[in-house]
Amino acid sequence: MSTGVLDPARVGQGSGDDTGPLAVRTDGLTKRFRSGQVAVDDLALRVPRGAVYGFLGPNGSGKTTTIRMLLGLVRPTGGQAWLLDQPMPDAGAAVLPRVGALVEGPAFHPYLSGRANLDRLAAVDATADPRTAARRRDEALERVGLGAAAEKRFRQYSLGMKQRLGLAAALLQPRELLVLDEPTNGLDPQGTREVRHLVRELADAGTTVLVSSHLLAEIEQVCTHVGIMSRGHLVLQGARSVLAERGQARVSVTTTTGHVGAAARVLRGLGLEEPVVDGLRLDAPVDGLAPEDVSAALVRADVPVVGFEVRRPSLEQVFVELTGEGFDVAR
Amino acid sequence: MSHAETMVGAPVQVRGAFGRLLRSELRLQLGRRRNLVLLAGLAAVPLLLGLVLFLTRDTDLAGQGPGFVGKVTENGIFLVVASIFVCLPFLLPLTIGIASGDAVAGEASAGTLRYLLVVPVARTRLLVVKALAALAFAGSAVLAIAVVGLVAGAAFFGLHDVVLLSGDTVPLGVGAVRIAGVVAYVALSMTGLVAVGLFYSTLTEVPVGAMAATVVTAIVSGVLDTLPALSAIHPWLLTHHWLDFAEFLRIEPDWQVVAGGLGVQAAWVAVFSALAWARFTTADVSS
Ligand SMILES: Nc1ncnc2c1ncn2[C@@H]1O[C@H](COP(=O)(O)OP(=O)(O)OP(=O)(O)O)[C@@H](O)[C@H]1O
Ligand SMILES: [Mg+2]
């Protein structure tokens, strides 16, 4: 495995990889439901402060269950979790005011207006200054584009408006950490873009964002880090580049007639796998080798190179490779 | 600015936070249309009862009916007692069962519970506020019957010096205090049922289930209370002492009876609040 990848199995043992300050950390976090199902298994999350952490995984892979444990809603059956360096759920009263959260879709009182729903949450918050409550509430509504619909009953909101109100609730106070579970669910492309924009804006202001999704494409562009869940396990975690590195690059060399054999010898000589030959083109994975070393070796061996291409699989391909493909949920 | 930690200080609790939470909860529950409809339904009972008694006052039917109902035409103030008496077996438990069974389960089923808890609000504090709001609603329910009963009784039959159960007559002012005692006793008699409803409410995400279970508990208690074979447990039944409000209408109320009835309620409140607390503070919120 290339450098920069945090192998979950290794970081879980407290290796030196996790140096900088972390906004979210879990060790061996496990949830076995009473049904016997292990929804989350031995999770070692590392979300650095200031990161936008894309928490990815297909349906039923355990993202929401993990988030519920982080927030103290569900009690882990094993392991520990820390938010902003404090243990959860014990330190919930001290930590959660600094954390904004959207968990498994928005939920509000249907017969109250959007504004009244936010007022309700503000009234519940023991740390919120009631003198600034109205201003903060209006700012949050404006920020998510609901200013004009604030007086409407929640029942009459469209799916996207509901999602936006959920985001507004998470932004009622200045936050150090935002935990957003599928925030783009139900939004139109324009709304999805706006959420991405919002996430980037918050991240620029220093807020750490943990954002879950089952669609890589939706959050790929904003993430600095990724964690990929599959069947309750964290199969990959680290800076965003690890995802690209994880996918094996291949070189494709096109030469002239009569030099295919020589080219193949050079590639083999570099320790590469047996190249796939297609006419004048040779194709091989560049296991741990810099592509420029390959081209240099070819030139040194006087192999004419008329085409040289390095291909990496798309992030989507890597993602699918890691989490498995197919319509059926794992369990 | 490198990290947000420089932006936000450690959060401190603002003064008066509990009061704000409680007011918000009371506004939510007492302002809710469904709950207002329930209160209006209860308030309609004395109106209907008063109207029927008024229309039949000069017929053969006048002066009949159980307990206090027959006395209403002589003195409108008894419409308060008669209405409470009529509502006690079913309508009042139904109304209170709906409100208290909904307390936690309603938030769970709407999904709002998880957002309250991550605000955050401590689970014990939330449960206390939910209990207080349910108690306030129960009190409002009894009060709604009483106030409308008093106004309707005065309008239909006028208010006069009060003839107690023992046959003694006391001035209207003294009688009114006695009636207030009845109302207070009945309101306090509902606290056990509120606690039971609150406990059921912590068990499920289906509010209708908790509501139904609460109402059924009151009904089953009433049925058990009529079975002579179970006379040994009768004094401990939730509903057994509800009708002891009549003590307030004797010339010398037996305060031991009153205290006994309230003591049984206190026991139900203690047991079921403890159960509700134990359940709610440890339950996974996965709704
Ligand atoms: N309360 C519960 N009791 C039993 N099993 C549960 C419970 N909640 C979740 N699960 C199971 O745990 C697994 C993980 O669920 P979870 O909701 O965490 O997945 P997810 O990654 O958030 O999926 P999605 O992308 O669909 O939201 C699923 O198989 C689910 O059936
Ligand atoms: Mg989910």
Closest ligand 1 atom number to CA of residue A68: 18
The residues pairing with A43 across neighbouring beta strands, listed in sequence order, are A29
Query: What single-letter amino acid sits at A18?
Result: D
* Cα gap A139→A157, rounded to integer Å: 19
Look at A72 and B118 and tell me if their CB atoms are within 8 Å: yes
* Cα gap A268→A277, rounded to integer Å: 13
> b/e per residue, A242-277, with b = 16+ CB within 10 A?
bbebbbebbbbbbbeeebbeebbebbeeeebeebee
Residue A62: CB within 6 Å of ligand 1?
A: yes
User: What are the helix (H) ranges across B88-206?
Assistant: 91-110, 112-117, 123-157, 172-189, 191-203
Q: Which tens digits make up the pLDDT trace of B141-157?
A: 999 999 999 999 999 99
Q: How far is the CA of A96 from the centre of ligand 2 (A)?
A: 20
> Does any domain span residue B228?
yes
Q: What structural domains does chain A harbor?
A: 8-243 (3.40.50.300), 250-311 (3.30.70)
Helices B172-189 and B123-157 pack at an angle, to 10 degrees, of: 150
Closest ligand 1 atom number to CA of residue A74: 1
User: Residue B2: is its pLDDT beyond 50?
Assistant: no
B127 contact residues in A (CB cutoff 8 A): none
- pLDDT the model gives residue A6: 45
Query: pTM higher than 0.80, yes or no?
Result: yes
Q: Is A290 strand, coil or helix?
A: coil
- pLDDT the model gives residue A8: 42
Look at B10 and A126 and tell me if their CB atoms are within 8 Å: no
Closest by alpha carbon to B196, among B230, B237, B224?
Answer: B237
Strand A225-230 with A52-56, pairing? parallel
Closest by alpha carbon to A177, among A196, A141, A140, A203?
Answer: A203
Give me the number of domains chain B comprises: 1
Residue A102: closest C-alpha in chain B: B115
User: Residue B267: is its pLDDT beyond 90?
Assistant: yes
Q: How far is the CA of B222 from the centre of ligand 1 (A)?
A: 43
Q: Are B193 and B242 in contact (CB under 8 A)?
A: no
Instruction: Provide Rg for chain A, Cα atoms.
Output: 24
Q: Which tens digits make up the pLDDT trace of A153-178?
A: 999 999 889 999 999 999 999 999 99
- pLDDT the model gives residue A10: 39
* Cα gap A42→A246, rounded to integer Å: 22
Judge whether A140 is closer than 8 Å to chain B, CB to CB.
no
Residue A22: closest C-alpha in chain B: B3
The neighbour count for residue B23, using CB atoms within 10 Å, is: 13
> Does any domain span residue B3?
no
Q: Is B136 exposed, middle or buried (0-12, 13-18, 19+ CB in 10 A)?
A: middle
> Does any domain span residue B2?
no
Lowest-pLDDT choice from A57-61, A112-116, B8-12: B8-12
Residue A213: CB within 6 Å of ligand 1?
A: no
Q: Are A56 and A67 in contact (CB under 8 A)?
A: no
Which residue has better confidence, A252 or A29? A29
Phi, psi of A251 (to 5 degrees): -105, 150
Separation in Å, CA of B8 to nearest CA in chain A:
7
How sure is the predictor about A313, in pLDDT bands with cuts at 50, 70 and 90?
confident
Give the alpha-carbon dihedral of B130, B132, B135, B141, to 10 degrees: -90
Percent of chain A with pLDDT over 90: 49
Look at B282 and A75 and tell me if their CB atoms are within 8 Å: yes
CA A4 to each of CA A18, A292, B97: distance values in angstroms, whole numbers, following the listed order: 11, 21, 59
DSSP A141-207: HHHTT-GGGTTSBGGG--HHHHHHHHHHHHTSS--SEEEEESTTTT--HHHHHHHHHHHHHHHHTT-
Residue B280: closest C-alpha in chain A: A73
User: Residue B100: is its pLDDT beyond 90?
Assistant: yes
CA B65 to each of CA A16, A202, B70, B71: distance values in angstroms, whole numbers, following the listed order: 85, 71, 5, 9
Domain range for B200 = 12-282
A169 contact residues in B (CB cutoff 8 A): 115
Mean pLDDT of B255-280: 97
Which residue has better confidence, A275 or A39? A39
Q: Is B186 strand, coil or helix?
A: helix
CA B49 to each of CA B54, B56, B61, B80, B86: distance values in angstroms, whole numbers, following the listed order: 8, 11, 14, 10, 9
Residue A63: CB within 6 Å of ligand 1?
A: yes
Q: Record the tokens describing residue A4, joined without a space.
A: 């920069």
Residue pointed to by tokens 């080798």: A289
Look at B119 and A96 and tell me if their CB atoms are within 8 Å: yes
Strand A86-88 with A78-83, pairing? antiparallel
Lowest-pLDDT choice from A115-119, A252-256, B7-11: B7-11
Mean pLDDT of A47-54: 94
Q: ipTM score here?
A: 0.87
How sure is the predictor about A15, in pLDDT bands with cuts at 50, 70 and 90?
very low
| Residues contacting residue A286 through CB under 8 Å, at least 6 positions apart | A248, A249, A250, A251, A272, A294, A310
Q: Is B179 strand, coil or helix?
A: helix
- pLDDT the model gives residue A78: 95
Mean pLDDT of A293-299: 88
Q: Which tens digits make up the pLDDT trace of B166-177?
A: 888 999 999 999
Phi, psi of A17 (to 5 degrees): -65, -30
How sure is the predictor about A325, in pLDDT bands with cuts at 50, 70 and 90?
low
B130 contact residues in A (CB cutoff 8 A): none
User: Residue B246: is its pLDDT beyond 80?
Assistant: yes
Q: Which tens digits make up the pLDDT trace of B112-136?
A: 999 999 999 999 999 999 999 999 9
Q: Record the tokens describing residue A87, joined without a space.
A: 């243990």
Look at A120 and B120 and tell me if their CB atoms are within 8 Å: no
Strand A208-213 with A52-56, pairing? parallel
CA B219 to each of CA B8, B64, B92, B139: distance values in angstroms, whole numbers, following the listed order: 54, 26, 11, 20
**Residue list, CB under 5 A from ion ligand 2:** A 64
Mean pLDDT of B261-265: 97
- pLDDT the model gives residue B73: 87
- pLDDT the model gives residue A288: 73
Q: Are B113 and B165 in contact (CB under 8 A)?
A: no
Q: Which tens digits make up the pLDDT trace of B55-88?
A: 988 777 666 666 677 788 889 999 999 999 999 9
Judge whether B61 is closer than 8 Å to chain A, CB to CB.
no
- pLDDT the model gives residue A20: 79
Strand A22-32 with A38-43, pairing? antiparallel
Left if phi > 0, otherwise alpha if psi is -120 to 50, otherwise beta: which for B58?
alpha
Helices B123-157 and B33-55 pack at an angle, to 10 degrees, of: 20
Give nearest CA residue, ligand 1 atom 12: A39
Judge whether A149 is closer than 8 Å to chain B, CB to CB.
no
